[in-house]
Structure 1
Amino acid sequence: MKAATTLQEIQPANDKLNKKPASGGRFWKTFKNQKYLYMMSLPFIIWVFVFSYLPLWGWTMAFQQYKPAKGFFEQKWVGFEHFKTLFADDQFILALRNTLAMSGMGLVAGFVFPITFAILLNEVRLNFFKRFAQTISYLPHFVSWVVAAGIVTKMLSGENGLVNDLLMGVGFIDSPIQFMAQGHLFWGIVTFSDVWKETGWNAIIYLAAIAGIGPELYEAARVDGASRLRQVWHITIPGIRPTITVLLIMSIGNLLNIGFEKQFLLGNNLVTDYSQVLDLYSLKYGLGMARYSYGTAINIFNSVISVILLFTINGIFKRTTKESLL
């Protein structure tokens, strides 16, 4: 009887000790202990809210016949009329084709070249050459696209252009090729211009991921007689796979948001059918023609497709590789 009484007294005490605090209590306890970290992040939260979430109010323009001189409640509501006009426009379909083509080419090249460059650079044992190659590869990233487009245009020029001079010097061609005047070459020119400019910079994150791989794995592989190629294939690439997955998901989510600087600066009237992308289309037919509602509809289309792509590719990777971003 005494033992039973003792157990009855002990059990409530144990339940009280094992009882987890409420979620609200845990939050405020964490907030109190880490209040300075929360205060440091507050300006960035405000910045994101002001520049990323607050402008979503402007999406209402896509469903109005927006006139800047009128107030919000004085605007004429037209529903999905601008979206119907958008999908019926041949220029929009052309811009969408160009955007998807250049985005797809840039996605493939933007992963293959930086990853390959990072792996090759990691295999270099001469530290001086390694640092020199890194420095040289980073430099184009800090050059504005205005200057970079000028360099590319000059190199591909039909008059004393470096590429034409080299091709004629080795006998591949008899007369200069007008690279910048041929539309079917424009997508490749934009893609390789981007590769030249950003490969070194994009390789930094892969080099950091490779640096996080334990050296004991390579030592064990060498003891087992694995060649350097085998070490790369079985250790380096699997070691950076989570980094590749996260960046790939983010890149596919932004497939339509490729900007317009490269296309605007490298393009001309002769290659318009290949250089016009969605952002240029929005700029030309939206802001350029004072069709603000129409331009907003284009941007909403970009955002919605980006969100759908992000969640779709994240779900695919989550099921196949058990890795996800969200």
Structure 2
Amino acid sequence: MRGIVYLRRYWQLYALLVLPLAYFFIFRYSPMWGVQIAFKDFNFFQGITGSKWIGMDAFREVFHMQDFYRTLRNTLMLNLLDLIVSFPAPLLLAVMLFEARPMWFKRLSQTILYIPHFISWVIIGGIVYQLFGTQSGMINNLLDRLGLDAVPFLTDKTWWLVIYLLTGVWQSAGWGTILYLAAMTGINRELFEAAEVDGAGRFKRIWHITLPGVKTTIVTLLIINLGNMMTIGFDRPFVIGNKAVLDYSDVLSTFVYRTGLESGQYTLATVVGLFQAVVGLIFVLSANFASKKLTDEGIL
């Protein structure tokens, strides 16, 4: 009876959950029915239920493919480098904006930093080729006018990796800054005032007050990023990558695209997707366990 009274009082808040729950049910839980394709010789015309069971044969086939191990290596490498380069960037930007005094400068900076997050990777890819293309790129045209040799930004593996990482920072850092700024605004201002009275400088206040104040947010985002080590977006490596750097740009998502959509081997593509999900879950649980042991912070 008490629960019914509570629901009647706050039914508007529960009504707001309808769309998010519907989204997760339709796009997250319902597709799990298709996981059984990984254990069947899937035939498009017979459907999931009519296809023949083959057990673990598809897994054995995938684990004997050289392309799978190459794309697995590239996925882990790019995600690890992204974690090292891109993860600290939003935190550094948030600290600088939090310490900025002029309000107009802070608002203008936030707006400029947020914009790249809403730009499609197709458009970003076009910008990258316009800037860094070997023959027609703006930077190489400028180097040519200065009498310097062109730099193979997008055809040399090392240079491509640098462009890939920097583009990712530019696209995602502003959005991540929102989370840290929201956490920083919740820190008690009296702590900063007391530290300033005690003679603590700006860097000491950041180190002893600001960063500890957002420790929970840092740990949560780190665990989520570690859980995504096996998953990587399709659009970014596909749009920026090319055949000259295929040894670095070919990742699990592009492998699934070629195997599933281009070759029609839906069973093998589902196997790779299931493998990513299971390993990602293990990464999340392991990172959460280690975080609780070391910092007493976690997401579960």
TM range (shorter): over 0.9
Secondary structure of 1:140's match? helix
Match of 2:40 in 1: 64
Instruction: Summarize the alignment of residues 45-60 of structure 1 with structure 2, pairs less than 5 Å apart.
Output: 45-60=21-36
Unaligned runs of 5+ in 2: none
| Mapped pair 1:240 → 2:214 | yes
Quote the offset at 1:130 in angstroms: 2.1
Match of 1:202 in 2: 176
Quote the offset at 1:316 in angstroms: 0.9
CA–CA separation in structure 2 for the residues paired with 1:165 and 1:229: 42
Match of 1:299 in 2: 273
Instruction: Summarize the alignment of residues 195-234 of structure 1 with structure 2, pairs less than 5 Å apart.
Output: 195-234=169-208
Match of 1:79 in 2: 55
Aligned pair in 2 of structure 1 residues 71, 282: CA closer, same or farther (>3 Å)? closer
Tell me which amino acid in the other structure corresponds to 2:205: Q
Secondary structure of 1:181's match? coil
- State the TM-score, normalized to the length of structure 1: 0.86
* Per-residue Cα deviation, 1:35-78 (whole angstroms, up to 9, x for no partner): 34333323322321121111111011110101011154532211
Aligned pair in 2 of structure 1 residues 206, 165: CA closer, same or farther (>3 Å)? farther
Task: State which of 264, 272, 277 in structure 1 corresponds to 2:246.
Answer: 272
| Mapped pair 1:289 → 2:275 | no
- Kindly indicate whether the alpha-carbon contact (under 8 Å) linking 1:101 and 1:187 is maintained by their aligned counterparts in 2: no
- State the TM-score, normalized to the length of structure 2: 0.93
Task: State which of 219, 223, 228 in structure 2 corresponds to 1:254.
Answer: 228
Instruction: Summarize the alignment of residues 57-136 of structure 1 with structure 2, pairs less than 5 Å apart.
Output: 57-136=33-112
Tell me which amino acid in the other structure corresponds to 1:203: T
CA–CA separation in structure 1 for the residues paired with 2:106 and 2:12: 40
Aligned pair in 2 of structure 1 residues 220, 168: CA closer, same or farther (>3 Å)? farther
* Per-residue Cα deviation, 1:252-299 (whole angstroms, up to 9, x for no partner): 111222211011111111111211110100010122111111111010
CA–CA separation in structure 1 for the residues paired with 2:192 and 2:47: 67
Match of 1:158 in 2: 134
How well do the aligned residues superpose, as a CA RMSD in angstroms? Answer: 2.1
CA–CA separation in structure 1 for the residues paired with 2:214 and 2:144: 42
| Mapped pair 1:138 → 2:114 | yes
* Per-residue Cα deviation, 1:197-230 (whole angstroms, up to 9, x for no partner): 1211211111111111111111111111011011
CA–CA separation in structure 2 for the residues paired with 1:226 and 1:42: 49
CA–CA separation in structure 2 for the residues paired with 1:260 and 1:112: 23
Quote the offset at 1:32 in angstroms: 4.5
- Kindly indicate whether the alpha-carbon contact (under 8 Å) linking 2:90 and 2:176 is maintained by their aligned counterparts in 1: yes
Secondary structure of 2:218's match? helix
Aligned pair in 2 of structure 1 residues 127, 182: CA closer, same or farther (>3 Å)? same
CA–CA separation in structure 1 for the residues paired with 2:158 and 2:75: 14
Quote the offset at 1:146 in angstroms: 1.2
Quote the offset at 1:156 in angstroms: 1.3
Q: Which moved more, 1:157-166 or 1:140-149?
A: 157-166
- Kindly indicate whether the alpha-carbon contact (under 8 Å) linking 1:64 and 1:76 is maintained by their aligned counterparts in 2: yes
Quote the offset at 1:178 in angstroms: 1.1
Secondary structure of 1:325's match? coil
| Mapped pair 1:40 → 2:3 | no
Report percent identity of matched pairs.
37
CA–CA separation in structure 2 for the residues paired with 1:73 and 1:115: 48
Aligned pair in 2 of structure 1 residues 26, 280: CA closer, same or farther (>3 Å)? farther
Match of 1:15 in 2: none
Secondary structure of 1:179's match? coil
